A = this chain, B = another copy of it.
């Protein structure tokens, strides 16, 4: 598992992930509920932004949440505990070397994880190894190539491309959403079904303008400014114009579109 995350684990990122989870919670998670007594593995729980929702939507399920970062596990534990949830067990662990035998789980859940991995197909195969026959995997990923907006802006696309390129150089894939179907199929899952979750934002939706366009997406792109410039991926003037143009889409006549992909497959 590559440790060179693009997103990083600083405070601002933590807030951003939390904002993201609050704003997009229904869109991404409302149709994921597991039966009472089911054993669920959350692979790559990070700081627990999704774990809280997962545990809340399946109060009778027993959730094991794993992340490679001890620090993230600690933060996730605090977050879940603060939310008053008691059905999550945390454990530090690497997706590529999980300490679970076959048939350990009824369901696996992985959100915003595969995008960071050099070998997402292998990870999916590893996770399949922990599932009981007939168990399911649910994968949620974004796709930065799905971002478009009004007014359109070449500079904004350049800035977005910097993030995509940096994540690619770190071994990940920021445009993995569109590829979930072939990935799950090639990893051996059956009955794979993918549903896109498009976020469409215009000024009639002020919560999304602020919570998604501004504080989630644009903040994330803005966060790679230094790395992008140091890597020679963009002229600072162009990058800064790109960010300005992304914020421009939050004005009264602007619109912003982005799509997440949710895939479910059976072992």
Contact A150 B182 (CB under 8 A): yes
- Give the residue name and chain of the B residue nearest to A178 (CB): B150
* A255 touching B178 in the complex, CB below 8 Å, given contacts A194-B202, A198-B196: yes
A264 CB to nearest B CB, Å: 12
How large, as a class, is the contact surface on chain A? 20 to 34
Within 8 A of B (CB), among A152-210: 152, 175, 178-179, 181-182, 185-186, 192-196, 198, 200, 202-204
Contact A204 B193 (CB under 8 A): yes
Query: Which of chain B's residues have a CB closer than 8 A to the CB of A194?
Result: 200, 202, 255
Contact B198 A255 (CB under 8 A): no
Interface residues of A (CB under 8 A from B): 143, 145-146, 148-150, 152, 175, 178-179, 181-182, 185-186, 192-196, 198, 200, 202-204, 252-255, 257, 259
Knowing that A178-B255, A198-B198 touch, tell me 8 more A-B residue pairs with CB under 8 angstroms: A145-B152, A146-B148, A146-B257, A181-B253, A181-B255, A182-B202, A186-B253, A195-B200
